[in-house]
């Protein structure tokens, strides 16, 4: 593991930090992004922020230059993502397009599709959502039942998706649908780019435990999808999907910086609330600090491997399980330190952080579910790393 940045990497970090100090819509190192009551206002703010970042070519630095990137490598991507998080910048609103759809189109899209879609992703001109999960196909994604049936000039889409983040703001969706029901399930799936404003697309927001509505149900009723929106060959959507999902796990500079910041704030909160004098809380505070440091080292180790051109391998699953469980433990410790203030929400008196800790605790409960649940990651580790026997019921085996 080589931890020393090269001259170019350090220069990139310095250049971006200087850019952020000049362009960030709040004071670097002190301010925080504005809070919005209405998600639509927040998305408008975030689109504008992404547009400005992209104009400086600070979004998708690992993308080819012709689509707005810098043609840079994983280390540069890591540095830029770290600096954004360090500046307390919110997650990029176009992250599904940037991190999942773009790399998928680069790997499987036609030249026309790349020309049509890629250039509009980085500046946030067009937002994408990921139309994979269905009510009965989450972990076992290959069981999906949304159908695409051939019609003149393309397909008709019918079915339902669920948990689709930001679908209500998306212009396009990367959608998996069954195109051949008569073959083994993984062989009858195709991937499409679906116009989210097309007739027959019905997006219904779902209210979450955090009181936000980022998630949606999406219903398709005879939605027309033109021929040239097929991504990858017909019935090879499973390969396309696996390439998308491979970008969901692994090195995680954003969560790394967020958790470094969280643990620092937790240790400060512990001082304010006398937790360091409590024999039950003191070891938990120390554990939180140690675990975040281990997460940092694991990220650096994976990054070194990827930078050497090696495959990340099943390390992605190890990282997913360990950081999400670390995050939950850290947040549980926060609640223990908050004590009687733990059940309070925004606006309550004597509530350190005015509900942000509580929102964060609720939000990170989902970290062991998104991008493939931890149980499924453990199956992957058991089978592919430890070589344990596969699950007896292969038809019900998880696929993500
Ligand atoms: C914050 C967040 C954002 C998301 N955004 C999107 C999105 O934008 N687009 C999208 O398509 N999806 C999205 N998802 C959905 C996510 O991919 C699914 O929730 C996930 O794949 C799990 O599927 P499920 O919810 O149907 O649970 P299920 O698959 O029904 O699992 C239920 C429980 O059973 C366990 N289980 C299932 N199979 C096995 C097995 N074989 N062995 C052991 N245990 C098993 C699971 O671990 C889980 O605990 C999002 C989820 C979250 C939390």
Same domain for 311 and 219 = no
Residues 198 and 139 placed together within one structural domain of the fold: yes
Residues 238 and 264 placed together within one structural domain of the fold: no
Burial code (b: 16+ CB inside 10 Å, e: under 16) for 139-165 equals: bbbbbbebbbeeeeebbbbbbbbbbbe
Decide if 156 contacts 148 (C-beta within 8 A): yes
Both structure tokens of 377? 């990651």
Instruction: Decide if 177 contacts 159 (C-beta within 8 A).
Output: yes
Residue 74 falls inside a structural domain: yes
List Cα–Cα distances, 23 to 60, 88, 161, in angstroms: 18, 13, 38
Whether 280 is in a domain gets the answer yes
**Which pair of structure tokens corresponds to residue 237?**
């959507």
Q: Are residues 219 and 257 in the same domain?
A: no
Ranges of beta strands (E only) in 37-188 are 128-131, 147-151, 154-162, 172-178
The more confidently predicted of residues 307 and 182 is 182
Pocket of ligand 1 (CB under 6 A): 129-130, 132-133, 138-139, 163-165, 366, 369-370, 372-373, 375-376, 379, 397-398, 400
Which of 245, 263, 288 is the last residue in one of the domains?
A: 245
Indicate if 248 belongs to the active site. yes
Closest approach atom of ligand 1 to CA 166: 8
Q: What is the pLDDT of residues 44-88, one digit of tens each?
A: 999 999 999 999 999 999 999 999 999 999 999 999 999 999 999
Residue 396 CA to ligand 1 centre (angstroms)? 14
**pLDDT value of position 398:** 45
CATH number for the domain including 215? Answer: 2.40.110.10
Q: How far is the CA of 15 from the centre of ligand 1 (A)?
A: 39
Domain endpoint, select from 245, 266, 281: 245
Say yes or no: 261 and 225 in one domain: no
262 and 383 assigned to the same domain: yes
Task: Tell me the average pLDDT across 304-311.
Answer: 84
Both 237 and 276 in one domain: the answer is no
Q: Residue 251: name the closest of 292, 294, 306 by CA.
A: 306
Q: Which two tokens stand for residue 337?
A: 């330190």
307 and 343 co-located in one domain: yes
- Both 388 and 263 in one domain: the answer is yes
pLDDT exceeds 90 at position 169? yes
pTM: 0.93
Which of 139, 363, 377 maximizes ligand 1 atoms within 8 Å of its Cβ, making it the mutation to test the pocket?
Answer: 139
pLDDT in tens, 218-253: 999 999 999 999 999 999 999 999 888 877 777 889
Spatial separation of the C-alpha atoms in residues 99 and 213, rounded to whole Å? 22
Q: How far is the CA of 398 from the centre of ligand 1 (A)?
A: 10
Whether residue 342 lies inside any domain: the answer is yes
Query: Residue 203 pairs with which residues in a beta bridge?
Result: 218
Averaged pLDDT score across all residues of the chain = 93
Within-domain flag for 382: yes
User: Structural domain of residue 201, as residue ranges?
Assistant: 128-245
Q: Which atom of ligand 1 is nearest to the CA of 167?
A: 8
- Cα(359) to ligand 1 centroid in Å equals 21
Q: Final residue of a domain: which of 93, 109, 142?
A: 93
Cβ atoms within 10 Å, residue 297: 11
Nearest CA owner, ligand 1 atom 5: 165
Residue 103: inside a domain: no
| Residues 78 and 164 grouped into a single domain | no
38 and 71 co-located in one domain: yes
Instruction: Catalytic residue, from 212, 248, 265, 325: name it.
Output: 248
Domain count, the chain: 3
Are 390 and 269 part of one and the same domain? Answer: yes
Is residue 158 within 8 A of residue 221, CB to CB? The reply is yes
Gap between the Cα atoms of 126 and 117, Å rounded? 8
């Amino acid at each position: 593991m080589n931890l020393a940045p090269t001259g170019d990497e350090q220069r990139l970090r310095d250049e971006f930090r200087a850019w952020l100090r000049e362009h960030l819509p709040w004071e670097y190192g002190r301010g925080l992004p504005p809070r919005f009551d209405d998600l639509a206002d927040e998305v408008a703010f975030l689109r504008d922020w992404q547009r400005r970042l992209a104009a400086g070519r600070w979004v998708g630095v690992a993308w080819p230059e012709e689509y707005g990137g810098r043609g840079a490598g994983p280390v540069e991507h890591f540095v830029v993502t770290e600096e954004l998080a360090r500046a307390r910048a919110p997650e990029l609103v176009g992250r599904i397009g940037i991190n999942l759809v773009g790399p998928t189109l680069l790997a499987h899209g036609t030249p026309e599709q790349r020309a049509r879609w890629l250039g509009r992703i980085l500046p946030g001109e067009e937002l994408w959502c990921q139309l994979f999960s269905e009510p009965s196909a989450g972990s076992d994604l290959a069981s999906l039942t949304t159908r695409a049936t051939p019609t003149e000039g393309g397909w008709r889409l019918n079915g339902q998706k669920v948990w689709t983040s930001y679908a209500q703001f998306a212009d396009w969706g990367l959608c998996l649908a069954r195109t051949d029901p008569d073959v083994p399930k993984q062989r009858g799936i195709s991937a499409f780019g679906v116009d989210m404003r097309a007739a027959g697309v019905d997006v219904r927001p779902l209210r979450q435990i955090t009181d936000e509505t980022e998630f949606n149900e999406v219903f398709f009723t005879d939605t027309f999808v033109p021929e040239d929106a097929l991504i990858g060959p017909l019935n090879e959507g499973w390969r396309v999907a696996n390439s998308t999902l491979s970008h969901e796990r692994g090195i995680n500079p954003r969560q790394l910086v967020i958790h470094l910041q969280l643990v620092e704030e937790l240790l400060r909160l512990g001082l304010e609330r006398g937790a360091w004098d409590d024999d039950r809380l003191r070891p938990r505070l120390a554990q939180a600090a140690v675990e975040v440091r281990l997460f940092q080292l694991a990220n650096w180790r994976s990054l070194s491997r990827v930078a050497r051109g090696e495959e990340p391998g099943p390390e992605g699953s190890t990282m997913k399980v360990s950081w999400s469980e670390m995050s939950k433990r850290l947040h549980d410790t926060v609640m223990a330190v908050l004590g009687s203030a733990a059940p309070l929400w925004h606006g309550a008196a004597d509530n350190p952080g005015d509900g942000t800790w509580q929102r964060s605790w609720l939000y990170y409960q989902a970290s062991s579910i998104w991008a493939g649940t931890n149980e499924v990651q453990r199956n992957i580790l058991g089978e592919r790393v430890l070589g344990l026997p596969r699950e007896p019921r292969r038809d019900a085996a998880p696929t993500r």
